[in-house]
Amino acid sequence: MKLFGSMEIRENQLYIGGVPTSELVKEFATPLYVIDEALVRDNCRRYVKAFKVNENKNKVAYAGKAFLPFAMCQLINEEGLCLDVVSGGELYTAHKSGFPLEKVLFHGNNKTFEEINMGISLGVGRFVVDNFYEIEKISEIAGKYNTTQKVYLRITPGIEAHTHDYIKTGQIDSKFGFTIVNGDAINAVKKVLEMPNIELAGLHAHIGSQIFDVKPYEDEVEVMMSLIKEIKDETGHIITELDLGGGFGIYYTEADNPRETEEFCELILNKADEVAAKLNIELPTLVIEPGRSIIGNCGTTLYTVGSIKDIPNVRKYAAVDGGMTDNIRPSLYNAEYECVIANRAGDKADEKVTIAGKCCESGDILLTDVKVSGINSGDILAVSTTGAYGYSMSNNYNKISKPAVAFVKDGNAKLVCRRESYEDMIKNELGLY
Ligand SMILES: Cc1ncc(COP(=O)(O)O)c(C=O)c1O
């Protein structure tokens, strides 16, 4: 297993943030999400520097959907990032954590009346408007509050990128945003400009996830800045902010070869300079929305190994005390991970095993045919790179409770989310009687 940030092996045991994993298990039990706080902060700082947040007034908005406990809202605020939320629940979490809401971008393709109302009344910085219906709703609700709400329009730029491939034309078949080629984008601009209580501050696009190549982003810059020019020429309105979304790829296994944050940001910023000069338009404030690339590698899940089933000449299964309830990505889209036996982390990994979850689903397999240093009931299994879309996608299938989350740093561990209890899980049950 590749070691990230503060991970190290001391006396054959995996340590994270200077804390032995055996201590974490003793104190907080398993399954447990462990977050390397120093690495999260370092990732934030690298983005802030590389994307020239202080120098050029660009913005890095952390995509909260990746992982959004209070502790994360507080950390990213301390590190000078903005926040992207996609629901009333995420907005409420940010609000209750004390996050300044003028630094929030509110996304979503079907925001309800209540969500829009909550966003406007709490003073959300920007709504990322997805459709014509929402333009009217925001204008109406902002009018009620006698305020003017700043918005971005979500544009479908005709580029869709996923991992190694991308499609540059077409891909207008998306539930998100205003399409450029059929005229919806420019019509949406005109509509916002004529409606009261709503102000067009910028444009937004997001082209996919786990993208390693910078070319689709460069194409996105070109498409979006051409639209900014078209808007200026047709309406006279100057778009001052351009949000390019997130999706920057990270290492999960040896098959992944991500670029350094610095290189990615520099290429994007250079491209924006070049295109602005070519089109003779002013360079807008640039915004990016990384989620996974800030938190993914910072998270490790610790499990206890329970039952082991060896089917000779077929497969050896080892089951852990979690599974698709704390990490649904392998079952959902065959996501792959690396792991190590934390209590024998330095031993040679030469035994092939498949790690099963405990849910009543044959598809609940966390890692298939991975190499470990032998595996026994009672071992602690550490799965790396579970920081993004692990806790945030966790669920209560089979009435399994959500694990705890601990931040580790400088030899100390802090519990930031309690483990869900059975009582927590039934608190909304009213029953028949
Ligand atoms: C609009 C938007 N912004 C940002 C992100 C974050 O993507 P990632 O976590 O891959 O960086 C997503 C992910 O789905 C998204 O939909």
Check if the beta carbon of residue 45 is closer than 8 Å to that of residue 79: yes
Average pLDDT over residues 205-211: 93
- Ligand 1 center to 105 CA (angstroms): 12
pLDDT of residue 426: 96
Q: Please indicate whether residue 413, judged by its CB atom, sits closer than 6 Å to ligand 1.
A: no
pLDDT in tens, 69-117: 999 999 999 999 999 999 999 999 999 999 999 999 999 999 999 999 9
The pair of structure tokens assigned to 83 is 């926040």
Residue with CA at minimum distance from ligand 1 atom 8: 247
For residue 37, give every residue at least 6 positions away whose Cβ sits within 8 Å of its Cβ, in sequence order, or none: 17, 75, 298, 407, 408, 409
Q: Catalytic residues, which ones?
A: 360
One-letter amino acid for residue 4 of the chain: F
pLDDT of residue 333: 87
Assign 159 a pLDDT band (cuts: 50, 70, 90).
Answer: confident
Q: Best of 256, 289, 294 to mutate for ligand 1, by most ligand atoms within 8 A of CB?
A: 289
| Bridge partners, 83 (sequence order) | 62, 104
CA angle 359–361–362, rounded 5-degree value: 120
What is the CATH topology of the domain spanning 107-290?
A: TIM Barrel (3.20.20)
- Ligand 1 center to 279 CA (angstroms): 28
Q: Please indicate whether residue 130, judged by its CB atom, sits closer than 6 Å to ligand 1.
A: no
pLDDT in tens, 223-272: 999 999 999 999 999 999 999 999 999 999 999 999 999 999 999 999 99
pLDDT in tens, 309-328: 999 999 999 999 999 999 99
Q: What is the pTM of this model?
A: 0.97
Q: Please indicate whether residue 357, judged by its CB atom, sits closer than 6 Å to ligand 1.
A: no
pLDDT in tens, 23-72: 999 999 999 999 999 999 999 999 999 999 998 899 999 999 999 999 99
Q: Nearest CA to 285 among 271, 267, 262, 269?
A: 269
Check if the beta carbon of residue 331 is closer than 8 Å to that of residue 366: no
pLDDT of residue 176: 85
Check if the beta carbon of residue 417 is closer than 8 Å to that of residue 404: yes
pLDDT of residue 75: 98
Q: Please indicate whether residue 261, judged by its CB atom, sits closer than 6 Å to ligand 1.
A: no
pLDDT in tens, 272-293: 999 999 999 999 999 999 999 9
Q: Best of 209, 210, 220 to mutate for ligand 1, by most ligand atoms within 8 A of CB?
A: 209
- Ligand 1 center to 179 CA (angstroms): 19
Assign 169 a pLDDT band (cuts: 50, 70, 90).
Answer: very low
Residue 113 burial by CB count (10 A; 0-12/13-18/19+): exposed, middle or buried? exposed
- Ligand 1 center to 182 CA (angstroms): 25
Q: Please indicate whether residue 5, judged by its CB atom, sits closer than 6 Å to ligand 1.
A: no
- Ligand 1 center to 290 CA (angstroms): 6
Q: Please indicate whether residue 289, judged by its CB atom, sits closer than 6 Å to ligand 1.
A: yes
Residue with CA at minimum distance from ligand 1 atom 5: 246
Q: Please indicate whether residue 249, judged by its CB atom, sits closer than 6 Å to ligand 1.
A: no
Residue 183 burial by CB count (10 A; 0-12/13-18/19+): exposed, middle or buried? exposed
Q: Please indicate whether residue 329, judged by its CB atom, sits closer than 6 Å to ligand 1.
A: no
Q: Please indicate whether residue 296, judged by its CB atom, sits closer than 6 Å to ligand 1.
A: no
CA distance 247 to 211: 6
- Ligand 1 center to 142 CA (angstroms): 27
Tokens 């579970």, located at residue: 386
Statement: residue 355 has pLDDT above 80:
yes
Domain 8-36+296-425 top-level CATH class: mainly beta
209 CA: nearest ligand 1 atom: 10
Q: Domain limits of the chain? A: 8-36+296-425, 107-290
